[in-house]
Homo-oligomer: A and B are copies of this chain.
Amino acid sequence: MKAEKPSFPLNAWYAAAYDVEVGRKLLARTICKQKVVMFRKTDGHVAVLEDACWHRLLPLSMGSLNGDELTCGYHGLVYNAQGRCTHMPSQQTLNPSACVRSFPVVEKHRFVWIWPGDPAKADPALVPDMHWNDDPAWTGDGKLITVKCDYRLVVDNLMDLTHETFVHGSSIGQRAVAEAPFVATHGDRTATVTRWMENIDAPPFWAGQIEQARGYRGKVDRWQIITFEAPCTVNIDVGVAEAGSGAPPKDGRPGDRSQGVNGYVLNTVTPETDGSCHYFWAFARNYCLGEQRLTHQLREGVAGIFREDECVLEAQQIAIDEHPDHQFYNLNIDAGSMWARRLIDGLVARETSSAPVIPVRRTA
């Protein structure tokens, strides 16, 4: 996976931090192989600069924040929030080249997003839709884990939930997930995998949720609707409803989920290096909104599930590194991740060559 061609596009918004992580302390992080330092300005907006002093490369995150300016912790060069050097020790004239790179930044849906590519293309409208993360009709919480694998392995993992049966057997996995048919579709920037499992026993996790929220204990219709948005965001509409209560869509119209419980597993995965990534996730629900205890419980429960994935993903990366020329075979279950990979490859190809890119065609 030591890619010869880039493994990710630069012209995209990448989650760099949870909103609460960025304040009046300097936060250092590597995003898309670029070391950055983040801080919140006195007006509350976030600034993101290259984390290396123009003069001797010391990380600016080792310096100090005064107002909206950073002072380098070695020789005291001062930078404003745009990255321009405004003071040098023992000299009046500032070298006009003295600046560090600043990055376009947007704060949205509880994440701080940065754009590592061409700033002229940084359109805030392109930030992925993760509105469930701060929509008052939903409640939830999440975490950041840094996983030692190519971010695309996380995307693969999320695009095929068959693995729940084998990796998460004690919580959300069940035989039905590995056996139920699914439908994979895609658009120009998105790919979707839809799986309905009707009239089944709920797995332990969902059995608990629907009983707690609705006092229901019987058979359920279960759904998993996975939506990938290139290059690295995967939102999963999940839930169960009383079996036969009309939750599945019919004749092209949405079903009636009123007898069910619904959650969104929100995931956005930011490359750190070629072999590691920042995996931001949250679980939002539309039931028992006011119950803080449930929010806490769900966050820790999902965190436990994701630790199972982390273990698998890191072992997989090690195996891939040991077999650099391995040709992978795809199974039916890989349909979603194949489309996701193709969309990512398309974005990368558009940035790295002027040669024509084979167009991704829409399929049913």
Contacts and interface: CB of A to CB of B under 8 A. Distances in A.
B315 A75 contact: no
A320 interface: yes
Interface stretch (A8-16, A161-169, A353-361): A161-169
A59 B315 contact: yes
A74 B312 contact: yes
A166 B55 contact: no
Interface in A149-197: 156, 160, 162-163, 165-167, 178-182
Interface stretch (A87-95, A117-125, A222-230, A295-303): A87-95
Q: How large is the interface on A (under 10, 10 to 19, 20 to 34, 35 or more residues)?
A: 35 or more
Given A179-B90, A329-B98, A162 B59 contact: no
Given A73-B167, A74-B316, A320-B57, A95 B329 contact: yes
Contacts of A54: 329
B316 A55 contact: no
Interface string A37-59: 00000000000000010111111
Nearest to A58: B316
Interface string A51-85: 01011111100110000000111111000000000
A74 B308 CA distance: 10
A73 B333 contact: no
Contacts of A323: 52, 57
Provide the main secondary structure of the chain A interface. loop
Contact of A75 (B35, B95, B160, B320): B160
A5 interface: no
Contacts of A328: 55-56
A331 interface: yes
Contact of A312 (B58, B166, B180): B58
Contact of A97 (B91, B156, B329): B329
A91 to B, nearest CB: 5
A363 interface: no
B166 A76 contact: yes
Interface in A287-323: 311-312, 315-316, 319-320, 322-323
Contact of A315 (B58, B98, B311, B320): B58
A250 interface: no
A253 interface: no
A75 B162 contact: yes
Contacts of A182: 90
Interface in A316-357: 316, 319-320, 322-323, 326, 328-329, 331-333
A193 B76 CA distance: 19
A95 to B, nearest CB: 6
Residue of A89, A156, A316, A323 with most chain B CB atoms under a 10 A cut-off: A89
Nearest to A98: B329
Contact of A319 (B59, B331, B332): B59
Given A76-B163, A91-B332, 8 more contacts: A52-B319, A55-B331, A57-B319, A73-B166, A74-B312, A75-B160, A76-B166, A90-B331
**10 cross-chain pairs, A with B, having the tightest CB-CB distances, nearest first:** A57-B319, A89-B178, A76-B166, A91-B332, A89-B162, A90-B333, A58-B316, A90-B332, A75-B162, A52-B319
